[in-house]
Structure 1
């Protein structure tokens, strides 16, 4: 009796590639290949164009007519408002950096401090901006895993700051952190949780990688760094001894 050659089960057969299989399979493969190339480019271009148009709509009415290129041209110039916003914010930061600018800002903040409701809103928004955008800050740069929403269920969290002030005084003991547990696929919504640092497992991933994993519902995962280390020659992977 001759031995039978092993065959691949139909469910485990590889995907058809261009040049193999029937004409329909090749067309299907070509279509999805083109979709993978054009889809991300189209979505990125759409979001970028929408953002530029949004900022242009806000800033174009504030540009003096004499300095607006559309006054002399017969067509709209995209990005004029974005450029004006960049120049205006940079100039505002330059003027605020000196003594006169700081005096005007302090005077305006004193006026807002006397206005009900606006006072609390302004202080809260300003504190968030100062915490997130400060150059030496560590907010949301630490990614971790916590057992959430129950035992045995793990969720990605972003560490915002150490718990301080009256909130820390109300906690039993020290070593608590303020963490943000984002929702998927919209990471701008989530839960604010105060947890002890010992309950947070640090992840060796960046904030960008964590957001990609959350927005893709786990489809896009951070690449493992171990194969890259294994691919190095032995003398490069092992530290040299003195």
Structure 2
């Protein structure tokens, strides 16, 4: 008859304590890295951009010196005071940095304004494709481009409303995200006066599974649920629903990435619907 080894039972609490301590320490380190790394990257990129613009201002300063602007500025009383106080160089460097920041901000505003128009988006898409096709550089560019898309998705419009729609029978209802009104061509083909476009996600991973549907307006039911509550319910497979919704079930970084992907998918859905609305059904009939 085998005798149980009591040493394993006595060492198990210590092993559990070590594993718990290791897991907690790892979580703290990963959280710190997740918070610090974006700040470090941002400061690093800004430093490189400012240094580049400051260096680009050198020819401009030479032009000012050639026209005598620098000499005239040095003859003023203010410059004399700054020289006597031994802060002239610091002041010049400071103003150079201010000018560089202003130029950088202006470039960002101009590029952002262009990117908000249709032709500007097309030009940016061409540039993205060209840069992404460069070996080595393309991989790095696509990574930072993805970060930019995430930033834009955080500011993008969310799904319009949470809806309920019958599925698999009269007594079974599923959650759907209303994205837009269906194109008239779809409603006419289905024989309905008005239809809505719904994205019906699959829990718990709506990114890899879901249905793009066009449902008659009279078969869609309103529900008193916010977008956040609907997303949380899907990601937790219904655990964070109803009375347990106030428990604030923790959402991991992977879950947040899934939500971001949903936003990106929603934008693609809206783009396809807008393109369908732009097409004239009369042209198709005449062909």
Scaled by the length of structure 2, the TM-score of the pair is 0.38
Q: Highest CA radius of gyration, 1 or 2?
A: 2
Scaled by the length of structure 1, the TM-score of the pair is 0.43
Larger RCO, structures 1/2 (Cα 8 Å, 6+ apart): 2
Task: Looking at secondary structure, tell me which structure has more helix per residue.
Answer: 2
